[in-house]
Every structure is written in structure tokens, then in C-alpha cells.
Structure 1
Amino acid sequence: MEVQRSSLLNGIRVAAAKPQGSQMGACTIMYQAGSRYEIDDELGATHFIRAASSATCRGYSTYAKTRFVAQQGGAITCTGDRQSIAFTLKCPVTKFPLLKNYLLDTAVRGLFHQWEINDLKRIVKDDLHRIHPEQRVIDLAQRACWGGPLSNSIFCEPDRVSGMLGDSLVSFTSRNFKTDQCTVTSVGIPFEETIKLAEMVEHRRELPPPRCEMCSFPRRGYETYDLGPNTTTWLCVVVPGCGTCDMNCLIKHAIIAEACGAGNTQTGQHSYDRMPLTPLALMAGDDLHTEYKAFNISYQETGVFGIVAKTRACSAWNVAMAASEFLTNVADLDFKQIEIGKRRLQLNLALHQEDCVNICEGLALAAANNAQIDSAKDAMTMVDSTCAADVRTAAACLSRKSCNMAFAVVGDVGIVPHEWELFRS
């Protein structure tokens, strides 16, 4: 897959990928403006911005955006995390000239009328009720791991929803939606069209003043969310990981997560038709209600590496202790397990290559970190070239970080170990 790159004078990075014979294309406008950049009255702003992606902007109303874009076979989505927020248009390649202004309007020209924000508060409250427990426990684990900006949740706190103001969203976007934090990427769209869209994001050619960055620090915290007694319980234990700024280190951590077992492989249509991935799967034994999986989440300069587990309340204590012990001894992975992890990671990269939206947002993230990974094949080559001994060294580094271990639980919080019991062990 051929990728063309460029940078504008105002700092916007541009990349366009040309796949072979694709009828669907995607274009992403991404800002390095995730929830970690929220301050004071802006806490929860990125959650509202994601919800307001279909709201009225300067050029088009909510009705015009939802109706016309859908009629042309397209869709505009907004995704975000602690590091970034991305607006993506997916549509037939031939319809991009008709729809590109709708993407630009959504990403750059938001008005955030207070009456629309008030209407969105009900939707945001519904979002909070619908958060999957696994997603919630991973979000809480990141809050427990970090003090400072990275402790900001990607979700708006329930007690802040009613008081959210449109002016707070305007303040957040005006301070963080800057050209030096912006990347514009496309898949299947001509490079010339992508450049034209990037030039329309901001007409000024000079770089904006540098943004003030606040540092985060490990805090070895403990977070809970009570679902009541005898409920299914999700547990998550994490240590500080690596950032996207070091691509080689990031690949090593991804290999370690896959070598541990990053989830079960679906082999049928039912929840129990799954093949567990070793070695984490061996910890569950004969308990069909207990699942473990490893994960790695990276921000710009740091990240978290951890294990999330789902189990019944009666076994939550043992599962929590087992997960923390496994993470402490993750350096014990052998070379065979690391090689298996490399193959699993390569398979996931190949599956990722099928979705133009995933490719486009991945390309935007790579461009934001000045990394040149043109395709899944290039990424798989980097995985192959990573030495197993170096991966073991990275795993040993994670084990040494167990002194900064953080813990989160969602479910029956009265049955799990308290922080002093867990950390003492």
C-alpha cells in the first residue's frame, strides 16, 4: 500500500494511503486533544464533544448532516481516548467531494449551542449507564495508576453532566484544536484531495504557540465501582507501560501482551465457544466463569500494561491475587511463548488491515508520532525483526514496576482484597 506524506507550514501533518481496488474510502481529522488535556470546568468535555459530533455546526444542521451523509452511503464517527480525538468520514470514494465539507464542519466548526448541549446531557447519562463493566474497570485502572492529567476519565463524571456548558467546550477546542496537534489522513482518497482538505482546516500558515504540557506521575492507587453483593466482578491490575513515541518499545509491549494471552479466540456463535489463549488461560483452570487477558494501552510518552479478569464474586479474592502475582512475574515468559506472541500480534495486524477506518485512524496516530508504518506488512516486518531477548528485557522492566502497581474493581467490591492486602502480598 503506497502512502504519500506531507506537512503544512502551520504544522498539520498529512498522509494518504492508496489501497488496491478499494471502493470505500475514509478520511480522518485527528487532534492530540484527549481527556488528559481537560482542566477545571472542562472536565468531561471530550465526552460531550464525541456526543456532539452530530450536532449543528456553522455550515450544516443536525438534520442535514445525518440525512444527507447517510443518503450518500457515508457515516461520520467521532472516537477519543485520553490522548487524542478523531473525526472520521467513511464513504464511497466517488462521494468524498460531496461529503468532505460535512467532515470539516464536524471537526473544526462546532458551535456547541447551549440548547443542544442540554439535549445531549440525557444521551451522555445514557452512555454512562451503558458502559460495559470491562471498559469501566480498565478506565478506573488508568485513573488509579496515574496522578495528574492522565487520571482524567474519558467519560464525564455523573455529577458534572448537569452543569456542563457549551462555553466550556468552546474553551477546550479553542485551546487544544491547534494545527500543530492536528493530523489529516485518508485511505482510498487521492492525495491532492487530502491536501486540499487539510488546507481548509486552518488558513493561517504560521505555527501556533506551543501548548503547555502537564506531567503525570504513578500514584499506586485503588479504585472501585460497586454493582452490589454477589454480582459478576471485573478486576484490573496495571503498572506503568510505554508511550507511542518509542515505536520499538511499543511493539515489545504489544508482543508481551499477546504472549500472555490478550483474550479468547472465538470459534463459534456462543459465549462458551472460545479457545483460551495460554498462559493466562491456565490460571482459570476448570472455572468456566473466570477469564483473564492482558492488554497494553499507550499514550504519547507513557502508558499502562495490565491484566483484566472477569469472575464470580465467590472467586474474586483468589483471582485478584493471581492476577497481581502473574503481572509481578511477567518476566518469566520463555522464548517459545514470546514467539507465539509475535505470531498472534501479526495475525491481529492482518485482521486490522481489512477496515479502512481502522487503517485511517492508525495512520493518523502514526503521523502524529512521526512514525512511518505504511501497511500491516511493514508492521509485521517490525514484529519479526524484534529480538526475543529484547522482549524479555522489556518484560523484566515491567516486573520491576510492580512497586507502582494499581488496582481497580467493578462488581462486588466487598469481597476483593483491599489495597493494603493486595500490595503487601
Structure 2
Amino acid sequence: MAPFRPSTSVWSALLLLRKARKMACSAVRSPVLRNPTVRHYAAAAATQCSSVAVPELQVLSSNKVTVAAVDNNSPIAQVSVIFRAGSRNETYNTQGITHHLRIAAGLSTCRSTTFGITRNIQQLGGNIITTTDRESIAYTLQITRNNLDKALTFLEDVATQQVFKPWELSDQLPRLRYELSMIPETTRVIELLHKAAYRTGLGYSLYSPKRQLGKINTEALQHFVNTWFTGSNCAVVATGVSLSDVSQFASNLKVCSNDNAAEAAKYHGGELRKERSSELTTVAVAVEAAGLNKEKDAVACAVLQRAVGSGPRVKWGSNVSPLHRDVSSAASADQFALSAFNASYSDSGLFGFVLSSVPDVAGSVTKAAAAYLRSPKLSDADIARGKATLKAEILYAADNEPALLENLGQQAILKGRAYQPSALVAEVDKVTASEVKSIAGKLGSGKLSLAAIGDLSTVPYIDELK
């Protein structure tokens, strides 16, 4: 079987706030066909604008599965089976189990062998991808519409018919070790930041601790699946497919009828530091922010992040954000990189910044950025720019098929609703400059969490940040 591919995605609008890094893998490496666009200028005057596909959603009475679809006539059909079972659902003794689950996607099931899944999906010209985050795991099929019916059987097998044969699990350990060795420093510091902020639940990493390698066995994986892969925790979403077809597929899924929910997130705050021999120092600082259960505040946080500065908007361009300008007095611009950070989950969130710098200036840059986080200086023009940037990201995501599917899935599984891009843009327009400044003020008084990796000789401790 071909190697699994890591992927990163961002959910737009209310659910665009989930910026914690995702992990992905594919059972088959096969490029997705794209529909070529041909412009017929002679007929342009007579062409009428087609109606925008409206997302549809329903909850099946038979097994409580939420179904959502956007029938946009795409030549590529995408169907995703999502379970509300991420790393926050783990316990201390089962940390890393969702990472093992992701790696196990595409292994033998009750009805199909690994070779059978791989060979058949390849022959049909499709692709199966598995992604995990802190609150969900998604099994996604991408295939041409004419072959969808044949391929859905294998999607059902991968998502709901796992058997976790011990010898197949042991064969995946080298790939697990490889993934752990390739995690970037910025990802590691984000994982540490969550651990410092929440300790358990949302604090559990997307990646398996090294001490757990070889300890997650068949029984542990099957127990996790039986506990959390239930109808009320499941959503089936699709693009390029009608709602009736998706509902027919979802109604046949064999999922448990248990109704389990993860414990509510509890923010603690604190710091974690990892000393390493490194030419760079990576630091993340954050406070608790609004979760998706507070929609208005969550949108305001998304606007605030882009107003404060989420990095340059042009590749290789300079950063001219208010945060970067304010911190530039502490060090030369070519000695550090800095970006605002925002992650919103179903019932909590984090807002802060992530920076990477040479060790000599890491302390002064961290102090300057933390001071800005405590009292951000924003003009109405900065907030207007933040709103425009967020709206552009929402509309760009609506034109990207994988992003559209991911957003629809997160909306269905976390909110039980399907939002139109135009409705999300309208919600952003409703946010006023005073509301954004009010949220910024509230965040500034929050309890800090800090994570740092690398040469920490100059990095201040959390009690030294004011």
C-alpha cells in the first residue's frame, strides 16, 4: 500500500476558526481528476448565471446519523463519513489512539482485505483519505460520479467494518515512528500549548506519544470504535451527490446506537518548555477564547486574528500587520517570524501568537508580543481589513472542493447545521469594530498559557509576562 499523505486544512467562518493542525492519510495515492474550464466567448452574452447549489441537511430517524449534501454537479463526487471522536475523547492510558486509528485506515476489514480495498479503489480511479483533529475523524472517498456506487462499499468497510488484526497493526509501527520524527517545530509547539492550556481532553495531542507505540492493541482500538463511532456522533456529507443518494448510503451504515459525549473542556493555563539544541527558538502564547457554542464571539475572534495579523498575504512578502509592526522595535525583522493564532473548538478556544526566532532575541520578542496581546492597538481600518480577509477566505473555500466538503462536515458534526457561504459572509459583515475591540479587551485579561521549544536561554517564564 502506498504511503499515507499528511494534509492540513482550515475550516472557514464560524467553523473556519479551527486552526489546529490536522493529520491526514490516504489508502491509495491517486490524483483527483479536475473538470477543465473552457470559455466560449461567442456565447458569453447569452449565458445566464447558474443558481448556486444550496447545502441540504437532515437527521435520519433510523440510526440518528446526520446527512448533508451539496449537489453542485461536480464531475468528482466526494463522500465523507465523520465521527465526533478525536483526540479529546482519549484517556490518559489511551493517548495516541486516534493517531493509530488514522494509520489503520485501509487495513483489512470484516469484508475486505487491504489488497482488495487498494486494488479496487485504484481500478475505479478513486482515492480514500483519512483525517483526524481534536474533535473528529473523517473517512473521505473521492471518485468520478459514474463509479461512486461501486466504491461506496469500500468506504463503508474502511469507516465502520474495522477488525484491527494484530499483525497488520505491528506492520504500521515504522510509519508511526517516521511520522513522529517528521513533525515540524511549529506543530510541536502548538501541541505543547494545548497540553499546557487544557492538560487533558483538548490537551491530548494529535500525535501518539512515543511511549504508546506498540501498546495500542486490537482490543483498545475496537473498544474506542464501539464507544464513539455511534449514530448520534456520526455525519455523512457529500459534494457532487444528491441528498437522497447520501441518505440511502448513510441509512445502511452499521453504527452503534449509544449516545456518548466527551467531557466539557476545562481551561487551566500554564507553561511547558522543552530544551533542545537548535538554531531557532519556537514559542506560542495564548489565552482562552470563544468556542463555537458562542457563535458571535467566535466570529469576532476570527476577525480579530486577521486584523492583528496572520502572516503575509503574498508569498515571500513582508509582514505589515499591527502585531508585527509593534513587535519590530524589539528585534530586526529578519530575526523572527510571527503570526496571530486562533483555534475554536465546540466549547472552548485559544487565541494568541506563535513565533520563531534566533535565540538571542526570542525573549524580547516574546515579551513584546505578549504585551501586545494584553493590550492590542487596532484601528477601524485594521478591523475592516480583517473582515475583508475573512470574507475572502470564506468565498475561496467555497470554490475549493476538498475545503467545501471539510467545512460542510465540520458544520454538520459540530453544529448540526449547513451554512451557505453567503450567510457566513453576512455574519462577518454584522460584526462591528466595537465588538472586535471588546473581545480583544476580554482576551487581554485572560490567564496565559505558554509553550516553548529549542534554545530557551532568553525565553521568559510565564510569570514574567505582563
Q: Same fold (TM over 0.5)?
A: yes
Q: Are 2:51 and 1:15 equivalent residues in the alignment?
A: no
Describe the shift of the 1:18–1:303 C-alpha distance in structure 2 as closer, same or farther (beyond 3 A). same
1:96 corresponds to which of 144, 148, 169: 148
For 2:361 and 2:124, how far apart are their aligned partners in 1? 52
CA 1:169–1:371: 2 relative to 1, 3 Å: closer
1:9-408 equivalence runs, <5 A: 9=61, 10-19=63-72, 21-202=73-254, 208-211=257-260, 213-229=262-278, 231-267=279-315, 273-282=316-325, 283-284=327-328, 286-330=332-376, 332-370=377-415, 372-401=417-446, 404-408=447-451
Cα distance in 2 between the residues matched to 1:355 and 1:226? 40
Paired residue secondary structure (1:369): helix
- Would you say the 8 A contact 1:148–1:215 is kept in 2? no
Alignment partners' CA distance in 2, 1:185 and 1:203? 16
Contact 2:284–2:353, Cα closer than 8 Å, also in 1: yes
The answer on 1:415 being equivalent to 2:458 is: yes
Question: Displacement of 1:198 after TM fit?
Answer: 0.8
The Cα of 1:179 is off from its aligned counterpart by 0.7
Per-residue deviation at 1:219? 2.0
> Aligned residues: percent identity?
24
TM-aligned CA deviation for residue 40 of structure 1: 4.1
- Gap regions ≥5 residues in structure 2: 1-52
Helix, strand or coil: the match of 1:29?
Answer: strand
- Deviations, residues 207-251 of structure 1 (Å, cap 9, x unaligned): x3432542332222111233315x212110011112122322221
SS in 2 for 1:195: helix
Partner amino acid, structure 2, of 1:276: N
Structure 2 contact 291–347 (Cα < 8 Å) conserved: yes
Aligned-pair RMSD on alpha carbons? 1.9
**CA pair 127-3 structure 1, distance change in 2 beyond 3 A:** same
Q: CA–CA distance in 1 between the matches of 2:365 and 2:255?
A: 55
Equivalent in the alignment of 1:270: none
CA–CA distance in structure 2, aligned partners of residues 123 and 203 of structure 1: 29
State the AA in 1 paired with 2:288.
P
DSSP 3-state at the match of 2:172:
helix
SS of residue in 2 equivalent to 1:288 = helix
CA 406–79 in structure 1, closer or farther in 2 if over 3 Å, else same: same
Structure 1, gaps ≥5 residues long: 268-272
Aligned partners of 1:265 and 1:277 also within 8 Å: no
Q: Write the letter of the residue equivalent to 2:420.
A: S
Q: 1:88-137: per-residue Cα shift (whole Å, max 9, x none)?
A: 11122222112111111111111111111111111111111111111111
How many residues in Structure 1 have an aligned counterpart in Structure 2?
Answer: 410
CA distance in 2, matches of 1:180, 1:217: 23
Structure 1 range deviating more: 62-71 or 25-34: 62-71
Greater Cα shift, 65-74 or 125-134: 65-74
Q: Which region of structure 1 is more displaced relative to structure 2, 208-217 or 103-112?
A: 208-217
CA separation in 2, counterparts of 1:276 and 1:384?
Answer: 25
Query: Residue 345 and residue 227 in structure 1: after superposition, are their counterparts in 2 closer, same or farther (change >3 A)?
Result: same
Distance 1:25 1:227, change over 3 A: farther
- Quote how far apart the aligned CAs of 1:387 are: 2.1
User: 2:55–2:418: 8 Å Cα contact kept in structure 1?
Assistant: no
Q: Deviations over 1:360-412 (max 9, x none)?
A: 121121112335443322221221122222222222221121xx110011221
CA change 1:246–1:201 in 2 (3 A) is: farther
How far does residue 78 in structure 1 lie from its aligned partner after superposition? Answer: 1.1
SS at match of 1:218: coil
Corresponding letter in the other structure for 2:405 = C
